[in-house]
Amino acid sequence: MAKDTFKKDVAIQAILYIAHHIDRKDIHRICKILYFADQEHLSRYGRSITGDTYIAMAYGPVPSKIEDIFKAVRGDSFFSEYADELRDYFEFTNKYYLNPKKEANLDYLSETDIECLDNSISKCKELSFNQLTELSHDIAWNSTRRDRAMSVKDILRETGDSDEYANYISEKLKLEKAFS
Three-class SS state of 28:
helix
- Under the banding of pLDDT at 50, 70 and 90, the label for residue 45 is very high
What is the domain range of residue 29?
Answer: 8-179
pLDDT at 40 over 50: yes
**Residue 86 domain-assigned (yes or no):** yes
**Residue 2 domain-assigned (yes or no):** no
Task: Indicate the average pLDDT of the chain.
Answer: 93
Average pLDDT on 85-97 reads 92
- The pLDDT value recorded for residue 1 is 39
Q: Taking the complete model, does pTM exceed 0.75, yes or no?
A: yes
Average pLDDT on 84-97 reads 91
- The pLDDT value recorded for residue 2 is 45
Residue 106 neighbours by CB under 8 Å, 6+ apart: 13, 17, 114
Domain count within the chain: 1
**Residue 1 domain-assigned (yes or no):** no
Average pLDDT on 46-56 reads 96
**Residue 82 domain-assigned (yes or no):** yes
Contact 41, 112 (CB under 8 A): yes
Dist. CA 46–CA 40, nearest whole Å: 9
- Under the banding of pLDDT at 50, 70 and 90, the label for residue 75 is confident
- Is pLDDT larger for residue 85 or for residue 109? 109
- The pLDDT value recorded for residue 76 is 80
Write the pLDDT tens digit of every residue in 123-179.
999 999 999 999 999 999 999 999 999 999 999 999 999 999 999 999 999 888 888
Contact 6, 65 (CB under 8 A): yes
**Residue 127 domain-assigned (yes or no):** yes
**Residue 3 domain-assigned (yes or no):** no
Percent of the chain with pLDDT over 90: 83
**Residue 156 domain-assigned (yes or no):** yes
Q: Interior CA angle at 87 toward 148 and 67, to 5°? A: 5
Contact 98, 27 (CB under 8 A): yes
- Under the banding of pLDDT at 50, 70 and 90, the label for residue 80 is low
Give kind and range of the element (H or E) at residue 100.
strand 98-100
